[in-house]
A and B are shown apart, each in its own frame.
Chain A
Amino acid sequence: MKKTFLIIAAAMLTLAGCKPDDNTVTPTPDNPAEGVAEETYAGGQLGTTFNQSASAFEDPTPAVEQAGMVNAFKYGEFFFEHTMTQNNPPFMGLGPLYVRSSCEACHPGYGHGRRMERYRADDWANGYLLVVFNKNTGAYETSVAGMPQTKAVPPFKPSIDEEKISIAWLGYVDEWGNRFPDGETYDLIYPEVTIPEDAFYAPLATPYGELAFRLESTIGIYGTGLLDAIPDDSLKAQYQKEEAAGAQLNPAIWAGGDWASLYGNTNHPKRFTYALSRGPLQDAAGANAIWNIPNVTRSDRRSHYLSLNKSIYATAASQDPEVQSLFYHYFPQWNVSGDPQTDIYNYLMCDTLPAEMTDKDYVDFMVWHRGLAVPAARNLGDSTIQRGRKLFREMGCASCHRPGWTTGADNFTDPNGFFSDADARLPRYPYQKIWPYTDMVQHRLFMVNDIRTGWCRTTPLWGRGLSPICSGHADRLHDCRARNVIEAIMWHGCPGSDARWTVEKFRKLSKADRDAVVKFINAI
């Protein structure tokens, strides 16, 4: 039944493709050259770079250049690339718990994290965040952070001892025996994460036996400014269209023809992260991560990122005799009461900490963040790529990996109030035709050891074909379980998957056509 609905949906989308309404269509022009001309500019005229070498994810957009913000962009870039220190300006942070010592360590070449055989915060390109949650309810474990920290500044101890974490890569055989009808085979693997109870520093809030562990990798950062410029009402129209087509949508996000929840206290929808936990970019992705990954405080974030229930970690640390004995040695300025237990607790719970990052540096950082260009699509005029492009649309992949959007006026907002609406200090991308290949909506693939909650926002495909050059790997999906495009596609075909029907079509393609689809995906 669902399949029928989805086929109808696909037909509707194809029909809709004939309408000249930018934000409701997936254009498939009769003349391929027409599509090539427009789609090559993946980030639009204001957001595309033609760099296709190792630094392709690192360039400023034309909008940054036209606004005279290149120097600010370069300053901001420092804070992404540099290893943070405890007290050496201007790169201060890390305290007292942290996930990584630099942003780039998680986003190799500014791109997607790499598949790892072990979890070590200092292993380059390890973009994994640990996800610790109640397997019955899906709720995060509150004795650790939402992004649990495995590193700490002395005398503090990390929330989880990373040397006790194991990642086993297990083989998976799908119902087709990992084999296409023409006999070609593929391999599928997935991670099984184990964290023993004694690896946790603070008392668990959930019985250990009820906990589950997963990995979620970083994705590329480029183009997030452009995604932020997609109008809220265009997102809403996308949900309406998918709902009308019979697609199942996450009831926590959308229900009964309208938003079920919006971002924080704003009237903006959620649009960033796999879990759709974030709304406007100025309080999402990097704006958040510079604070809670290397733990850098700034004027509008003057507290520590600790356990979800902060007092659990603060209490454990304050009662730890080893921490007590060394606290005043490392933090003499916090000897307020003479009682280390009290002072440790107050230090950890403090929300008036000094800012480690200046406001100017934060503005530059956000110029950089909002200013990263998307690599232009490569060789779209190639006949094989054109064939792949056509098949991608015909099979229905484009239903979720929606090719094109048009940005609005881009009068962006900041839920924190640090930036004013359409703040002139940041680059903007008004009325750009962009090609991210995502519907910005969550769907479910029902994979073994699936992502927490099962709902995952469709990841943009733009630029990903350059990952081997820019990031040194071709790994895909939220936990990097796919080592190439074919594996990524086939993981979409699990029983019950929202994309099952497209994978069934993909399986039936000839080898040449499957290769054309892969070549197209690597070209955009």
Chain B
Amino acid sequence: MAVAVTATAFAFAACTDENKDNQGTQPGDDSDQRAAAVATQFVDNTVAPTYTALAERAELLAFQLAALKTAPTQPGLEEACNTFLAAREEWEKSEAFLFGAAGDFGIDPHIDSWPLDEDAFATLMNSPAMLAALDAEDGDVVAGERLGNALLGFHGIEYILFADGHAKNVSDISASQWTYVAAVAGDLRNRCYQLEVGWMGGKAPASHIAKLDDIELAYTVAGSGNSYGDNMKNAGQAGSTYMSRKAAVMAIVQGCSDIADEVGSSKIYSAWHGEDITYIESPYSHMSIIDFHNNIVSIQNAYLGGVEGQRDDSKSVHAFVKAINSSLDARVINAIENALAKIDAMPAPFVQHYADPANGQAVEACNALSEVLDEVIETIRKN
């Protein structure tokens, strides 16, 4: 009976709280204005610079690999590997905002699926007709339309360029493999344009917009035709999918919580706890731990109001939360720093040290970060 009474009391109390959804702030009040500023700062100074850099680096990678396809050299390969890692860094720094264009257009699984399907890859290498199609001028489009996610994206390129954490010997890469990797890099570039244009709309480079129009890749929010950036900036107004400005801020924090959870519960935990190497992402370049680190940096950039050099503390989620509950905000800051520290303490490469106890501490730190971010969402929802 005591349990039942408690449950009833809980239900009543909880239900009372739930009615506060989006009623704590009203359009035009101070909190609502601050939420709008947070959303705008996030779009313009976290998302936009990250996707701009990603698009630039993916474009350079596609350019370099197209050149290497016809004239492969070892220095050229090593340069391309560096470009790959630079592009990869920006992608991982974007994973706190996998919502919006990345999710709606399926770009995440399109460019970041793993493992590579090695049987399908072997079949492709023995398919003259498909290789000829990939070698054609529109090979990037053919790759995106015909290869399927298990042969596309970063990990397909990584598989060709890297072995055991280093650039391969250029003589180990066949002509067919160059054809494949150049086409896949072209598709990767297109999809990075889609992320950039998707969020920035008309502020993205005209050539990138033209490319997407040419290959008929969508980049606006369904129904409204708005960019994802404007959709968030216009939260609470007609035409936006966010029903309030506060909902936009909650979406930003939810994105952070989701990636913290994924790094802890999936990316590290699954290989560490299961002692199963097959769950490891980025095994060929030995970049797994760098990827995890950059995922947390993406949370940092989203929470602190911009990428490094473009931060405005006054328009950050950090300041927004601090105004409601300063100790909660302090716990978030500490949790971010702790997650970075614990990830940095993981012995590299992960693929060779996946069972190390230090990995368990990183899992705990990421999970703690996710949990405190969930508290933030709940706090914003009720205020």
Contacts and interface: CB of A to CB of B under 8 A. Distances in A.
Interface of A: 33, 36-38, 40-41, 45, 50-55, 70-71, 74-75, 77-78, 81-91, 101-102, 104-105, 108-109, 114, 120, 122, 124-125, 153-154, 330, 376, 378-381, 468-474, 483-484
B116 A78 contact: no
B273 interface: yes
Q: Which residue, of B11, B100, B117, has the highest number of chain A Cβ atoms within 10 A?
A: B117
B379 to A, nearest CB: 12
B33 interface: no
B341 interface: no
B158 to A, nearest CB: 14
B30 interface: no
Could you say which interface size class chain B belongs to? 35 or more
Given A37-B16, A53-B250, A474-B223, A88 B118 contact: yes
A379 B222 contact: no
Interface stretch (B63-71, B162-170, B177-185, B239-247): B239-247
B149 A74 contact: no
Given A54-B100, A55-B254, A83 B149 contact: yes
B237 interface: no
Chain B's interface: helix, strand, loop or mixed, by majority? helix
26 contacts: A36-B15, A37-B11, A37-B12, A40-B19, A41-B15, A45-B14, A50-B378, A52-B247, A54-B98, A54-B255, A55-B258, A75-B274, A78-B270, A78-B279, A85-B116, A85-B119, A85-B120, A104-B109, A105-B106, A105-B149, A109-B103, A124-B109, A124-B110, A378-B22, A378-B243, A381-B21
Given A51-B254, A109-B103, A378-B243, A101 B148 contact: yes
Contacts of B15: 36-38, 40-41
A104 B113 CA distance: 12
A456 B206 CA distance: 47
B51 interface: no
Query: What are the 6 A-B residue pairs with the smallest beta carbon separation, nearest first?
Result: A124-B106, A472-B104, A54-B99, A37-B15, A53-B254, A85-B117
B278 A90 contact: yes
A489 B146 CA distance: 37
A41 B113 CA distance: 35
Contacts of B60: none
Given A74-B269, A75-B274, A470-B103, 20 more contacts: A37-B19, A41-B11, A45-B7, A53-B251, A54-B103, A55-B254, A71-B265, A74-B266, A78-B266, A83-B148, A88-B116, A108-B106, A109-B103, A122-B149, A330-B123, A376-B18, A378-B22, A381-B21, A468-B222, A473-B223
Contacts of A82: 113
Contacts of B100: 54
Contacts of B109: 81, 83, 102, 104-105, 124
Nearest to B107: A124
A174 B250 CA distance: 41
B118 A87 contact: yes
Contact of A54 (B105, B223, B254): B254
B31 to A, nearest CB: 17
